[in-house]
Structure 1
Amino acid sequence: MARLPGSVAALVLLAGLGACGGTEPLPEPDPDTASRTAEPTTPATSETEIAPFVEVGTAPIGLAADGDAAVWVVLSGDDAVGRIPVGADEPDLTVDVPGTPLRAVAVDGALWVTSFRGEQLLRIDTATGTVTDTLPTGAGPEGVTAGFGSVWFVEQDSGTLVRVDPGSAEVTSRTDIGVGARLPHAGRTAVYVAAFADDRVLRVDPRTLDVRRSAKVCSGPQGMAEAAGQLWVACTFSDEVVSLDPVTLERTSRIPVEGLPDSVVAEGGRLLVVAEEGPRLVSIDPASGEVTDDVLLGEETALYDSANLDLAVAGGEAWVSSFKADRVYRVPLP
């Protein structure tokens, strides 16, 4: 198993450990009245020693599907991103991204990458691998998403949600969301942000930039996705995936997922969740709250917030990054 140099590991650890904000905590929701617990059925587990994978560079974290043509992997330990064509067994293009890159999103022929230590957002032409724009950011740029005609990224240590015009690569707004927020998700009607440091989820109106803050929803909210009329949140430290009303942000259900669930994607009427231990790829029916499949991919131990795993879907496969094993697993989807 490849190990990071101490300096790089420390930098990535900083990316995962945001300082808590100074806002006054809201009351905890009452599980008996504010939520219903969805009891999952016993899943059919498909165990394998090692799932198919692509060897990549050091310490992969973020993944970004470029349509069904390729998947980009962010190599935080190599200060680079790599492109893996669908069907290929190795990256065909690598681009330098200095300063501990973490996350990426691909939209309209461009890959947008956050550089945590470098305090930059980079735009890369996905066809040529040329860096076309570099935007300075505040402290700790982390998660990035695209929606409502814009690119959005979170400055974790500055406590800001930043909106960027993808055509001009200029910042069009900055919204205060509190220090310690991490991952954004552009949904159907709003931009959601997982406020990892204080266990809440934020809803940002893309027209007015008004911010609604939830009560505490779980421990360690991270990846988010919308399905079956709900916002689903992977909760790493409480070993569960919870659903929220997408407008009120009230918790509506809880589904146990052991092994530190990290990322979640809605695909084909189901939820795909990556748990760090293994890692494992868990499928959930969002309508019934049932776990329908649980696939062991590898033999890695959990990260416990020293880094993260990511999930993307392209070419009929689920792609899962493995920070410790320096690889990206590929799982064919039925």
Structure 2
Amino acid sequence: MKKLVLALLSASVCACTMATAEEPVQAGNMLVEKPLPVPGFADFLAVDGDTVWVTNVGRVEQWGVDGKLASTDMPRPCGTMSVANYSLWVANCTGGNLYRIDVGTAEISNIIETGIANPKGETNVVAGAGSIWVPSASEGQIARVDPATNAVIATVSVDPDTFYLAYGFDALWAVSSEQRSLQKIDPATNSVVATVSLGQQPGFLAAGAGGVWVQEQGDGTVARVNPDNVEVTGRVKVGESLVYGDIDTGGGSVWLRTTEDQVFAVIDPATMEVTARLGTPAGSGAIRYTDAGVWTSAHDDQTISWWSH
């Protein structure tokens, strides 16, 4: 059943107008949640056109707004995935390698021996600068994979326990939760060029909407980092905790999947305020923004949801 969810402003009732179909999704508009039952453990998401890929137990699945479209078996998909070069790139935590799956056929095209830095599963695979980047060793390494050859062409030395990545502003960004650090990596030199200290238990991050945004999970805050001078320029208090959830940017907003208080919250990067809180708490999961709507997952409820006008 569709559930109408009003975007609740943090201090007052929204008086915003509805966007047209051609406009990107805005934070203050009413959204309709369309939940889709996904048996198993639906977790991390990757947008592929008007569909989404989701990790599950022993497989990755492709879903559209009307149901499942494809499924590919693999030992243990884990962490955020990336869609690039007509492929889905997925970390495999059981084998410590990187799976390449053809998004047209849903068939495995390559398995690349990269190593996986965090076999517990909280990790990122990202695309940028013509490469695929994978946290590959807990001692502090990121593997750079060339999709033309399916080979590791460089290894970047980073802080120990660097598991979280994002690409944006012509740089790779890497977070070590244990070291409480955000590192800026220059893809031209495959080296760390700047580092900034963060709050308690930093985790997933996104680069866009004018900054690099990092969950400070232990503090219940989101930190904004200037991508040029790599300094923290502000923080937004969202709740008591942000363990674990997810984060994305798009449509001029920051989209934050939470585990407490709501399904997700929306941050205005200009005012540094939470402008909307949508849904009732559904445990941990992921979030991905598109101009047409927003995808979320809730593995405890065994669902993914499509939020749209």
Shorter chain as denominator, the TM-score bin is: 0.7 to 0.9
Q: Quick one: which amino acid aligns to residue 205 of structure 2? A: M
Tell me if structure 2 keeps the 8 A contact 1:61–1:322. yes
Identify the match of residue 117 of structure 2 among 126, 133, 140: 140
Q: Quick one: which amino acid aligns to residue 61 of structure 1? A: D
Deviates more, 1:156-165 or 1:287-296: 156-165
d(CA) in 2 for partners of 1:43, 1:159: 45
Tell me if structure 1 keeps the 8 A contact 2:250–2:290. no
Identify the match of residue 163 of structure 1 among 144, 164, 187: 144
d(CA) in 2 for partners of 1:118, 1:220: 27
d(CA) in 1 for partners of 2:169, 2:154: 20
1:54 aligns with 2:36: yes
1:313 aligns with 2:276: no
Tell me if structure 2 keeps the 8 A contact 1:279–1:322. no
Q: State the secondary structure of the residue aligned to 2:178.
A: helix
Identify the match of residue 283 of structure 1 among 266, 270, 275: 266
Structure 1: 4+ residue segments shifted above 4 A:
43-46
Tell me if structure 2 keeps the 8 A contact 1:278–1:300. no
Report which structure shows greater RCO (CA 8 Å, sep ≥6). Answer: 1
Tell me if structure 2 keeps the 8 A contact 1:111–1:125. yes
Which whole-Å deviations, capped at 9, do the CAs of 1:232-273 have from their partners, x for residues lacking one?
112211101111121332111010011416322111111111
Residues 323 and 204 of structure 1, relative CA distance in 2, 3 Å threshold: same
Q: State the secondary structure of the residue aligned to 1:202.
A: strand
1:59-70 aligned at under 5 Å gives the runs 59-67=41-49, 69-70=50-51
Identify the match of residue 330 of structure 1 among 302, 306, 309: 306
Which whole-Å deviations, capped at 9, do the CAs of 1:174-198 have from their partners, x for residues lacking one?
1111331111111122100111122
| 1:91 corresponding residue in structure 2 | 68
Q: State the secondary structure of the residue aligned to 2:228.
A: coil
Q: Quick one: which amino acid aligns to residue 137 of structure 1? A: T
* Structure 2 portions without partners, runs of 5+: 1-8, 15-27
Identity within the alignment, %: 23
Which whole-Å deviations, capped at 9, do the CAs of 1:96-154 have from their partners, x for residues lacking one?
11134333111131000001122110000001111000011224353111111111111
Q: State the secondary structure of the residue aligned to 1:237.
A: coil
d(CA) in 2 for partners of 1:169, 1:236: 34
Which whole-Å deviations, capped at 9, do the CAs of 1:7-52 have from their partners, x for residues lacking one?
xxxxxxxxxxxxxxxxxxxxxxxxxxxxxxxxx9626589x9x943
| 2:105 corresponding residue in structure 1 | 128
Q: State the secondary structure of the residue aligned to 2:52.
A: strand
1:272 aligns with 2:255: yes
| 1:82 corresponding residue in structure 2 | 61
1:201-212 aligned at under 5 Å gives the runs 201-212=182-193
Tell me if structure 2 keeps the 8 A contact 1:43–1:292. no
Tell me if structure 2 keeps the 8 A contact 1:79–1:101. no
Residues matched between the structures, number = 280
d(CA) in 1 for partners of 2:194, 2:130: 24
d(CA) in 2 for partners of 1:231, 1:53: 30
d(CA) in 1 for partners of 2:152, 2:261: 39
d(CA) in 1 for partners of 2:131, 2:214: 22
d(CA) in 2 for partners of 1:282, 1:59: 22
Residues 41 and 322 of structure 1, relative CA distance in 2, 3 Å threshold: closer
Higher helix share: 1
Tell me if structure 2 keeps the 8 A contact 1:57–1:327. yes
Tell me if structure 2 keeps the 8 A contact 1:160–1:174. yes
d(CA) in 1 for partners of 2:80, 2:210: 26
Q: Quick one: which amino acid aligns to residue 273 of structure 1? A: L
* Structure 1 portions without partners, runs of 5+: 1-39, 304-308
Q: Quick one: which amino acid aligns to residue 140 of structure 1? A: A
Residues 137 and 43 of structure 1, relative CA distance in 2, 3 Å threshold: farther
TM-score with structure 1 length normalisation?
A: 0.77
Identify the match of residue 108 of structure 1 among 85, 96, 102: 85
Deviation at 1:216, TM superposition (A): 2.4
Which whole-Å deviations, capped at 9, do the CAs of 1:175-224 have from their partners, x for residues lacking one?
11133111111112210011112211111001012214534211122222
d(CA) in 2 for partners of 1:332, 1:80: 27
